[in-house]
Structure 1
């Protein structure tokens, strides 16, 4: 576990300084002070390493998001705030902000990105089931839609939805009804 943490932290350091294209197994191993075999045994491939490093960072960066969402007892409001605060998390973290740049090795553009993003989406959406147990059978669909729309919100920032209030109105008006979530 300790070597995994060192490798993930070293990978995030490489992303911060060199960009996604600067990350490879040898560089991560050297930066973490471990062998390449240790990196391969823990992560399997460069894509898995970058993806897990970004997922780890995203989950750590969303601690404030989780505490804010924990106060919400309405399914529709939860979904709206997940988009709003999620966008703010990406905008405010220099490493996560790299996700919106087209650069070699950016995991957003990996073929398996959706499969790797699903566990993160499920983790963030799981509290919805406590708020409304009828959502459970649809959680995977909601995760799919959430990932795709969340990426759109982050990648294609639009002056028409620049403020948090603008984004709240857009999500409440179009996404909440599309997901058949009714506000209280």
Structure 2
């Protein structure tokens, strides 16, 4: 029993080290190979493949890890307190800060083909939080309830991607893109737009 438990603990540590190395290296160079990731993680190539049968599996796990980090930041933003508009802006800012830590990696991942169902499942934790805040705003009358929550979530996600693309292309600064995103989303959901 103890040996089996130790093996599982070792496997968890190896997997975590591989993912940490992959996130770090792939954000520097999205074409980094499995050998370099294994070396940085302090494991063998075989160990990487034991956890992730292909580079695609490893990339999917990297996306899951970054998504989990974003969700943790969103949860730390205390989405259930204060005005819904403020909570929505805190949620968006938490997501922006997380994605801002991995610009190269996220651009590469966004360029890869992805199954729509898998992409929807992967982003479900983020969209669930968006739905929760938007629903609260509609129930309290802060947000216009004439548009469906699903539509408003979809628009929010698309506008978030557009803001990132504008900043990545250098057409807007990160701050300008964030401000444009906040203003646009608040207008779409029918919330008062801050004057500052």
TM-score range, shorter chain: 0.5 to 0.7
Gapped runs of 5+ residues in structure 1? Answer: none
Q: Quick one: which of 102, 108, 122 aligns to 2:110?
A: 108
Q: Tell me the CA shift for residue 12 of structure 1.
A: 1.8
C-alpha distance in 2 between matches for 1:45 and 1:139? 37
Q: Which has the larger radius of gyration?
A: 2
Q: Does 1:131 align with 2:141?
A: no
Q: Tell me the CA shift for residue 43 of structure 1.
A: 3.7
C-alpha distance in 2 between matches for 1:154 and 1:3? 33
Q: Which residue does the alignment assign to 1:49? A: 58
Q: Tell me the CA shift for residue 23 of structure 1.
A: 3.6
Q: Tell me the CA shift for residue 141 of structure 1.
A: 4.4
Q: Quick one: which of 76, 83, 86 aligns to 2:95?
A: 86
Question: With structure 1 as the length reference, what TM-score do the two structures score?
Answer: 0.64
Question: With structure 2 as the length reference, what TM-score do the two structures score?
Answer: 0.61
C-alpha distance in 1 between matches for 2:13 and 2:128? 23
Q: Quick one: which of 58, 62, 67 aligns to 2:76?
A: 67
Counterparts of residues 15-54 of structure 1 (less than 5 Å): 15-17=26-28, 19-24=29-34, 26-32=35-41, 33-36=43-46, 38-40=47-49, 42-54=51-63
- Cα deviations by residue, 1:75-95 (Å, 9 ceiling, x for unpaired): 33333333334333333x2xx
Size of the alignment, in residue pairs? 169
Gapped runs of 5+ residues in structure 2? Answer: 1-11, 140-144
SS in 2 for 1:163: helix
RMSD of equivalent CA atoms: 3.8
Cα 1:139–1:50 change in 2 (3 A) is farther
